[in-house]
Amino acid sequence: MKIEGPSKTQNVSKTKKAEKADKADAAFGEFVASAPQEAPKAAASSSIAAVDALLAVQSVEDPTARAAKKRMRVRADKLLGELDKLKNALLTGTMTIGHCIDIADVVASHRENIDDPGLTGILDEIDLRAQVEIAKMRKALEAQNNAKSPDSGDNQLA
């Protein structure tokens, strides 16, 4: 048996696929060449600096506003303390007309500087309830005093 080397290859002819690829390469090359060379620049950071300055100015607290907040906090603590005393007096059964008067006084003294309509509504409800309780207690005390005092007609008969 005779061994021969590799067989000869036939001449390769161009196919239609190669022609299509050449056309596509040319179209892509034109596309790349016509694209803008430089990307658009980002917006200037001066607008961000202006916003930062506005935020910094807003975060600075006015000394008068700080003092007003402190006064409001003290008033709120006082009112809550009085309400707590009233709650304890109700629970222990030792509520007096003085407790209700104290609540009404605290509410009345703190109304002048309140701008919040929700808070004003709450204070109105507290004040109304305190006034109702005061009226009820006064009526009960008057009835009790009238029951204890003898009639002037009974004294004449005796």
Kindly list the domain boundaries of the chain, sorted by start residue: 64-148
Cα diameter, the chain: 166
pLDDT averaged per 10 residues, the chain (length 158): 66 56 66 64 64 75 78 83 87 85 82 77 87 88 83 48
pLDDT at 36: 62
Q: What is the pLDDT of residue 157?
A: 43
Q: What is the pTM of this model?
A: 0.48
**In a 10 Å sphere around its CB, with 0-12 CB exposed, 13-18 middle and 19+ buried, how is residue 8 labelled?**
exposed
Residue-level pLDDT at 72: 79
SS (H, E, C) 4-34: CCCCCCCCCCCCHHHHHHHHHHHHHHHHHHH
Structure tokens at 11: 């001449």
